[in-house]
Amino acid sequence: MEAKQITILGIGCTLLSDQGFGVSVVQDLNERFEFPGYVHLVDGGLVGVGLTGTVAQADHLIVIDAISNNGRPGDVYRLENQQILERLSTKNHIQQVEFLEALAHCQALDDPPQTVLLGIEPDDTKTLACALTPVLQEKMVAVTSLVLKELDRLAVTYREKEN
């Protein structure tokens, strides 16, 4: 039986503080863990609709992003499939509307990826800074653990790298 293709996609701009949260989580996962060949870690940056091919190749897609949802900085959200697409009609997504459009394009496929979005309420998305705010920096471990729980749910075997 062929292994399902799983993509872990971090999106955002690492030059604007908390907007880079998703990319930071993917970088952390890449540095700390080893995954089977069917698990792909992708730094999606701000590519947007250009990610359609990457998204379409996945059977399961785990997306990490900073999303404004009128909560407190550091609040974590888990959205699935249709809940993610419903964000297209709201104005609470930071900058990745293009990614949501790419995901919407993939829904036209016969077999779109099962998608989970792990979002976090940002503290600062406007300051030109390559570092996360302290609030989001403190949430890195928790969100990384949530990504690993999603992989556990999909029966993926992974291991922490030795130092």
What is the average pLDDT value for the chain, to the nearest integer? 85
1 found inside a domain: no
> Is 113 contained in some domain?
yes
Comparing 144 with 126, the larger pLDDT belongs to 144
In a domain, 106, yes or no: yes
How many degrees, rounded to 5, is the angle at CA 12 between CA 117 and CA 58?
Answer: 45
When pLDDT is cut at 50, 70 and 90, the band that residue 74 belongs to is very high
Q: Does the residue 89 lie in any domain?
A: yes
Give the residue, 43 or 103, on which the prediction is more confident: 43
The H-or-E segment that residue 124 falls in is none
What Cα–Cα distance (Å) separates residue 114 from each residue in 9, 55, 63, 162?
13, 10, 11, 31
CATH number for the domain that contains residue 126: 3.40.50.1450
- Confidence check: pLDDT of 159 > 80: yes
Most confident segment among 80-94, 106-120, 146-160: 146-160
Task: Please enumerate in sequence order all residues whose Cβ is within 8 A of that of 40, keeping only pairs 6 or more positions apart, or say none.
Answer: 5, 6, 7, 8, 54, 58
Q: What percent of the chain has pLDDT over 70?
A: 79
**Is 130 contained in some domain?**
yes
149 pLDDT above the threshold of 90: yes
Domain assignment present for residue 64? The answer is: yes
Question: What is the predicted pLDDT for the residue at 56?
Answer: 82
Whether 131 is in a domain gets the answer yes
Q: What is the domain extent for residue 98?
A: 6-160
Rounded to whole angstroms, the Cα distance separating 115 from 147 reads 12
Check residues 6 and 56 and name the one with the higher pLDDT.
Answer: 6
How many domains is the chain partitioned into structurally?
A: 1
Q: Specify if 31 maps to a domain.
A: yes
What is the pTM assigned to this prediction? Answer: 0.87
116-140 pLDDT, tens digit per residue, is 999 999 999 889 989 999 999 999 9
Per-residue confidence band for 35, with pLDDT thresholds at 50, 70 and 90: very high
**Rg of the Cα trace of the chain?**
15
